[in-house]
Amino acid sequence: MRYFSTRGQTEPVAFQDAVLMGLASDGGLLIPESIPQVGEKLDAWAGLSFPDLAFEVLSPYVGDIPEVDLRRLINAAYATFDSKAVVPLHPLKDLYVQELWHGPTLAFKDVALQLLGQLFEYILEARGEHLNILGATSGDTGSAAIAGARGRSNIDIFIMFPEGKTSPIQELQMTTVADENVHALAIDGTFDDCQAILKSIFRDLPFKARWHLGAVNSVNWARVLAQVVYYFHAYYAAGQKPLAFSVPTGNFGDIFAGWLAAKMGLPITQLILATNENDILSVFFNTGRYARGDVKFTISPSMDIQVASNFERFLFYRLGENAEALRGAMESFAQSGAFHLDDGAPIDDLICAQAVGREETLATITAVHEEEGYLLDPHTAVGVAAGRALRKGDEPLVCLATAHPSKFPEAVNGAVGAPLATHPRVEGLAGLPKRSTPLPASEDAVKAFIEAHGRR
C-alpha cells in the first residue's frame, strides 16, 4: 500500500514513510491509494480480541512491516489499557456507550497514540534515526501523545497547547511529565492558532528536514487508521448487527475513521456528527457552507475548534478524488475563511450533523446519571444528545465516549450535584511539579524553541 497527498503534488510513499512524514510536503494530507474491501471477512473475524482485530484491520494498509513485528507492536500498545476489551461497550436504555478512555491518559486519543508511539520507535530504531515530534492540542491529544513518546531515547516531543483553554486536568497531564524528552509549550492563543503554527512549520520543508519533524496530530495517517478499529470492535460487541454511530467531533478525525470503516464494508447505517457551539462542521453538513468563525470556549474544550484538520481528507473523496478541485477549495478557504459546496448532490449519504449547546450538554449529563447511574463527560454528552435527536431507523446506536468524566470535574460534578467525577490517575496528579514554557502564538518563537531544545 502506498500513500499520496490530497493535493496531488507529493510523490507516493510507503506506510513507514507516511508515518514519519505526517503532513504531506505539499501541505495536503496523506491517503491510501485504495480503500481495502473487507466485507467478506467480517464473519471470520468474529470472536477476535481487540489486538487481533486491530492486526486484521490494519494489515492491508501497512505492507512494509513484517507480520510478527506488527502483531508485537499492536500487543504492546494495548497492554497499557485497563480493560481487557480495550474499548468496551456499556449499554444504556436506548443506546450503547463505547468507552474509549481506558488508556493511560483516560482519553480516546490513547487508542491511536499508544500505537503510534510504538510505530515511531520501531521505524526509528530500524533506520538509526531521531525524530522531533511537533504537536498541537485542544486538550487530549497532547497528553496522549506525551504518554506515547515519553522516555523514548530516539524521540523529542514538543506539544503546543492554548494556555488556560484546556481543562486543568488536561494541562496537568501534559505539564507534570518529568521526562527530559518532553516539552510542553503554553501558547498565548487558541487551539486554531497552535494548529496554524504547526501546519506552517511543516510547510517549511528545509526546516522540517533539518530537524526531522514528525506529527502526532490526526494529520498523521496512522492515527486515523488506528481509530478505524474500534468501529469494527463495536460491531462485534453489539452482536454483528448494522449500527449507527454518534461521534463527538472537533478535528473530524474520529468520524472520518468511521466513514472509512463504512467504505471498507462495515455495515454502518448512519454517522451522526455532534459538535458543541463551535459548529463549523455541523453548519457544513446542513448547508454546504464551510466558514471559519471565532472560537467559543466551552465546557467541552477538546471540540473548541474552528478549522478541522481532517476535513480535507473527506473533502477530497467528496470532490471525486480530484486533487485540483481540492486545492481550489482549500485556497479559497485560506484566503477568505470560507467556501461553499453547492453541486446539487447531498453532502454525504452517511453523515448528518447537529450542534449541542451548554445547557443541553449539562442536562444530558444530569439525566443519564439520574436515570441510569452512569456518568458522561461533556464531550460524550454532546454525542448522546445529538445521537438521540438525529437517530433514524431501528439499528442500535453507539455513542463514542471520548474521555473519562474525571478529566472535567467542574462540569460533571456540577451537573450531578456531587463530587463523583474522580479517578485514581487524576488524583495522583495533585501536588506534582509542573513544567511548561510560555510562548507567543508565533511560528518564529516555536521554531526558535525547537532549535534550542531539539536533537538531530
Domain ranges of the chain: 89-106+222-422
Q: Can you tell me the distance from the alpha carbon of 375 to that of 364, in angstroms, rounded to the nearest whole number?
A: 10
The pLDDT tens digits for 182-205 are: 999 999 999 889 989 998 999 899
| Assigned CATH for 89-106+222-422 | 3.40.50.1100
Which pLDDT band, with edges at 50, 70 and 90, does 129 fall under? very high
Which pLDDT band, with edges at 50, 70 and 90, does 174 fall under? very high
Q: Which three cell numbers stand for residue 443?
A: 511560528
Q: Side by side, which strands form the sheet with 30-32?
A: 13-14, 2-5, 30-32
Strands 96-99 and 397-401: parallel
Pair 453, 180: CB distance under 8 Å: no
Amino acid at 394: D
Q: How far apart are the first and last CA of the chain?
A: 29
Q: What is the CA radius of gyration of the chain?
A: 20
Given this model, what pLDDT does residue 68 score? 98
Instruction: Report, as an integer, the average pLDDT of 120-131.
Output: 94
Given this model, what pLDDT does residue 140 score? 80
Instruction: Report, as an integer, the average pLDDT of 194-223.
Output: 91
Instruction: Report, as an integer, the average pLDDT of 248-259.
Output: 95
Given this model, what pLDDT does residue 275 score? 97
Instruction: Report, as an integer, the average pLDDT of 225-247.
Output: 98
Given this model, what pLDDT does residue 345 score? 87
The pLDDT tens digits for 311-329 are: 999 999 999 999 999 999 9
* 340 has pLDDT over 90: yes
Pair 230, 98: CB distance under 8 Å: yes
* 342 has pLDDT over 90: no
Which pairs count as long-range contacts for 6-11, CB under 8 Å and 24+ apart, including other chains? 6/30, 6/31, 6/312, 6/313, 6/315, 6/316, 6/323, 6/326, 7/323, 7/326, 7/327, 7/330, 8/323, 8/324, 8/326, 8/327, 9/323
The catalytic residue among 109, 165, 199, 208 is 109
* 217 has pLDDT over 90: no
Q: Which three cell numbers stand for residue 200?
A: 506552517
Given this model, what pLDDT does residue 219 score? 87
Percent of the chain at pLDDT exceeding 70: 100
Pair 354, 389: CB distance under 8 Å: yes
Does the annotation mark 109 as catalytic? yes
Given this model, what pLDDT does residue 215 score? 86
Given this model, what pLDDT does residue 190 score? 92
Q: Can you tell me the distance from the alpha carbon of 273 to that of 281, in angstroms, rounded to the nearest whole number?
A: 8
Given this model, what pLDDT does residue 455 score? 86
* 227 has pLDDT over 90: yes
Which pLDDT band, with edges at 50, 70 and 90, does 166 fall under? confident
Instruction: Report, as an integer, the average pLDDT of 228-239.
Output: 98
Amino acid at 450: I
Given this model, what pLDDT does residue 300 score? 94
Pair 304, 137: CB distance under 8 Å: no
Report which secondary-structure segment, H or E, holds 219.
Answer: none
Instruction: Report, as an integer, the average pLDDT of 97-117.
Output: 95
Q: Which of 291, 295, 293 is nearest to 332 (CA)?
A: 291
The pLDDT tens digits for 379-403 are: 999 999 999 999 998 999 999 999 9
Pair 400, 248: CB distance under 8 Å: yes
Q: Which three cell numbers stand for residue 388?
A: 438521540
Strands 338-340 and 289-291: antiparallel
Q: Which of 352, 289, 343, 293 is nearest to 318 (CA)?
A: 343
Q: Can you tell me the distance from the alpha carbon of 66 to that of 69, in angstroms, rounded to the nearest whole number?
A: 5
pTM, rounded to two decimals: 0.93
Q: Return the axis-axis angle of helices 358-372 and 409-416, rounded to nearest 10°.
A: 60
* 362 has pLDDT over 90: yes
* Mean pLDDT score of the chain: 95
* 305 has pLDDT over 80: yes
* 367 has pLDDT over 80: yes
* 139 has pLDDT over 80: no
Helix%, strand%, coil% for the chain, nearest 5: 45, 15, 35
Given this model, what pLDDT does residue 442 score? 96
Given this model, what pLDDT does residue 328 score? 94
Which pLDDT band, with edges at 50, 70 and 90, does 309 fall under? confident
Q: Can you tell me the distance from the alpha carbon of 14 to that of 222, in angstroms, rounded to the nearest whole number?
A: 12
* 449 has pLDDT over 80: yes
Instruction: Report, as an integer, the average pLDDT of 173-187.
Output: 95
Pair 273, 348: CB distance under 8 Å: no
Q: Can you tell me the distance from the alpha carbon of 209 to that of 71, in angstroms, rounded to the nearest whole number?
A: 30
Which pLDDT band, with edges at 50, 70 and 90, does 23 fall under? confident
